[in-house]
Amino acid sequence: MGQAIGFIELSSIAKGIEAADAMMKMAEVELLHTQAIPRGKFTILIGGAQAEVEQSLQAGVDCASQWLMDHFIIQNVHEQVLPALRGRQKVDDLEAVGVIETKDATAAVFAADAAVKKAQVTLIEVFPGKGAGGKGYVTLTGEVGAVRSAIAAGIESIKKESALVSWVVIPYAHKSLLKVLSQ
């Protein structure tokens, strides 16, 4: 089995912290992101081997009880997504740059996975909303046509959720953006 990402959202910060603990004790997964967000919500994002993520997520769901708002697993997540969630990836050069801005972390992860599965691009970062009012975003680079295809696939993956805030494709990005995007 491949790598997976699991996400859980709760309506209680205290229960969210308890659920994160239960999830980490259940299986060998990586805690990629936790965040208390406005109105007393708490989100947890984990990654690892698919079976481990499934076990861990179930422990979080069980612990969350009536405070559970949402949860999901992305099975066979693209190999670029986990590193890009951990932090910005170094790139040596930019041709085109694509950005998808989302209402929340969940949508950013779905959009990133769909984008890199559609076209040969390099994910620079999947930002899960910490410190950005709960918004998420994805940045990627590659050949202009590939970036356009990737951005279109990312947008399509979240369109029905009404999670898109904005997007942009910058063909032939200025070289100084390299400092901003991959530090």
Q: What is the pLDDT of residue 132?
A: 54
Q: What is the pLDDT of residue 130?
A: 62
Same-fold call for 3-74 versus 81-181: yes
Q: What is the pLDDT of residue 131?
A: 56
Residues near 63 by beta carbon (within 8 Å), at least 6 away in sequence: 15, 18, 19, 22, 23
Note the pLDDT tens digit of each residue in 54-108: 999 999 999 999 999 888 899 999 999 988 888 888 898 889 999 999 987 788 8
Q: What is the pLDDT of residue 183?
A: 63
The second-level CATH assignment, the architecture, of 3-74 is 2-Layer Sandwich (3.30)
Note the pLDDT tens digit of each residue in 121-178: 999 998 876 655 668 899 999 999 999 999 999 999 998 778 899 999 999 999 888 8
Can you tell me the distance from the alpha carbon of 22 to that of 96, in angstroms, rounded to the nearest whole number?
42
CATH topology of domain 81-181: Alpha-Beta Plaits (3.30.70)
Can you tell me the distance from the alpha carbon of 4 to that of 71, in angstroms, rounded to the nearest whole number?
13
Domain ranges of the chain: 3-74, 81-181
